[in-house]
Amino acid sequence: MVVALTALFFALGGVGYAAVSLPRNSVGNAQLQNGSVGNWKLKSNAVGTKKIINGSVGAKQVNSSQVQLRVSNSCASGAISSVGLSGSVTCTPTVGNEYGSNTAATTLGTSATQVATQSLAAGSAYLVMAYPHAVITPGADGQHVEVDCTLSVPSGSGTPPPANPTTTTKTLGVDVATTANPAAGTIPLVLPVASSTSVQPATVNCTDTASPATPAPTVKVDTTLSAIQTASNN
């Protein structure tokens, strides 16, 4: 009986010894059952960059509250002011470009005369401003002269809403006492312009009328013409 128990003890002890004393490198992929190694079996910091296959970790494998995901979109206008954890962006308007020109004095003819033009790039709304300056020499003493100036931008391929007219006209009226003392004045013109998918020309045209009409006065007009990009004119 004692011999039998001793034999059983050594037999069991031999199995336990074999289970905890595996030869180095004896357990490989073939010895592991699928799904048999879980999170708690991995030593802390045991998995590093060399243990991860390139491209195997994506958005679904990371905690989006801790890891910044790839930027998922862009700003149609303006600039990116912030990026969310999900990769979404917040856009903010940027300081718009400004276009402008100054013109030399143009003598008005018997019909509307163009005194300035400026091309407006497509894809943006604008605030267009012009300041025609007229110098009027009457044809006769005591002549009344009116100068009409119009700032206009065609609608192009975009249709401006009713709040955004495509033209604006202002009038300067003066009574000139003598031909020896010309009169002068400035006509401020401001026009909001809706965005268009095509290039739009902004133009300033002026005309004059006099009473009495003859002899005709001499009217010379110069102007500045500028356009500032805006985020929206709606």
Given a cut of 50, whether residue 233 has pLDDT beyond it is: no
**pLDDT-wise least confident of 58-62, 140-144, 210-214:** 58-62
* H or E stretch covering 224: strand 224-230
Rounded-to-integer distance, Cα 178 and Cα 32, Å: 111
Q: Give the domain ranges of the chain.
A: 55-94, 98-230
pLDDT of residue 163: 47
Percent of the chain with pLDDT strictly greater than 70:
67
Mapped onto helix, strand or coil, the DSSP state of residue 3 is helix
The predicted pLDDT at position 106 comes to 97
Upper half-sphere CA count for residue 185 (Cβ side, 13 Å): 17
Using DSSP's 3-state secondary structure scheme, residue 11 falls into helix
**DSSP of 32-47, one letter per residue?**
SPTT---GGGSPTT--
* CB-CB contact of 140 with 180 (8 Å): no
**pLDDT, position 179:** 80
Scanning the structure block, which residue is given the tokens 């979404």? 88
pLDDT of residue 6: 53
> Tokens for 50?
């060399």
CATH of 98-230, one of 3.40.50, 1.10.10, 1.20.120, 2.60.120: 2.60.120
**214-224 pLDDT per residue, tens:** 999 999 999 99
Q: How far apart are CA 113 and CA 15, in angstroms?
A: 109
Helix (H) or strand (E) holding 5: helix 2-20
Examine the pLDDT at 128 and tell me if it is beyond 90.
yes
Q: Which residue has the higher pLDDT, 190 or 73?
A: 190
* 163-186: pLDDT as tens digits: 456 899 999 999 998 888 899 999
| Residue 31 vs residues 20, 37, 43, 51, 85: alpha-carbon distances, Å | 15, 12, 19, 19, 41
* 3-class SS shares of the chain: helix, strand, coil, % to 5: 15, 40, 50
Q: How far apart are CA 77 and CA 194, in angstroms?
A: 15
One-letter amino acid identity for 6?
Answer: T
What is the model's pLDDT at position 170? 98
Indicate the average pLDDT of the chain. Answer: 79
d(CA 132, CA 102): 10
pLDDT at 22: 67
What is the predicted pLDDT for the residue at 107?
98
